[in-house]
A and B are shown apart, each in its own frame.
Chain A
Amino acid sequence: MRRLSARMTLSRRRAYEGVAFVAPWLVGFLAFMAFPLAYSFYMSFTNVKVGPTSIELKWKGVGNYVYAFLSDNVFPVELMSFFQQSLLIVPIIVVFSLIVGLMLNSETWGRPLFRAVFFLPVIFSTSQVVLSLFNRGAGRIAFLDRFSVAEIVNTSLPDRWAGPVLAVLDRITLVLWYSGVQILLVLAALKTINRTVYEAAAIDGAGRWEVFWKITLPALTPFIVLNTVYTIVDLSTYPFNPILESIRRSMFDVRTGMGYAAAQGWTYFSIVLLVLAAVCAFGMRNVWRQE
Chain B
Amino acid sequence: MERRQRAMHSDSGSIAVGLPLRKTVVNSLLRLKHWLLGTGMRTGVAGKALVTLLLIDIGFVYLYPVLYMVSTMMMTLNDLVDPTVIWVPTEICLENISIAFIGMEYMQGLAQSALVSIVGAVAQAFTCALAGYGLSRYHFRGRNLVFAMVLLTFIVPPQTIIIPLFLLNRHLGWLNTNWALVVPEMFGLGLKGALFVIIYRQFFLGLPSSLDEAARLDGAGGFAVFTRVMLPISKPAILVVSLFSVVWHWNDYYLPTMLVSDQKKWSLVRRLHGLGAALDEIYGVNEYGMSRFSEPIEMAGAFLVILPILLLYLIAQRWFTEGIERTGLVE
Contacts and interface: CB of A to CB of B under 8 A. Distances in A.
Q: Do A and B bind?
A: yes
Interface of A: 14-22, 24-29, 31-37, 39-40, 43, 50, 55, 100, 103-104, 106-110, 112, 114-129, 131-136, 138-139, 141, 173, 176-177, 184-185, 187-189, 191-192, 198-199, 202, 208, 211, 223, 226, 229, 233, 236-237, 239, 243-244, 247-248, 251, 258, 261-262, 265-266, 268-269, 272-273, 276
B269 A103 contact: no
Given A25-B127, A173-B61, A40 B160 contact: yes
Nearest to A113: B59
A129 B155 contact: no
A127 B257 CA distance: 12
Contacts of A40: 160-161, 163-164
Interface of B: 40-43, 47-48, 51-52, 54-55, 58-59, 61-66, 68-69, 72, 127-128, 130-131, 133-135, 137-141, 143, 146, 149-150, 152-168, 184, 186-190, 193, 197, 222, 226, 247, 250-251, 253-254, 257-258, 269-270, 272-273, 276, 290, 295, 298-299, 301-302, 305-306, 309-310, 313, 317-318, 320-321, 324-325, 328-331
A37 B156 contact: yes
Contacts of A127: 251, 253-254, 269
Contacts of A33: 149, 152-153, 156, 161, 189
Contacts of A20: 134, 222
A123 B222 contact: no
A51 to B, nearest CB: 11
A22 B184 contact: no
B287 to A, nearest CB: 13
Nearest to A27: B187
Given A19-B140, A184-B321, A136 B290 contact: yes
B131 A123 contact: no
Contacts of A247: 159, 162-163
Contact of A276 (B66, B141, B155, B222): B155
Contacts of A115: 321
B33 to A, nearest CB: 15
A21 B58 CA distance: 45
Contact of A108 (B48, B63, B226, B324): B48
A103 B131 contact: no
Contact of B159 (A114, A223, A243): A243
B141 A187 contact: no
Nearest to B66: A120
Contact of B51 (A16, A28, A108): A108
Nearest to A185: B330
Contacts of A136: 68, 72, 290, 295, 299
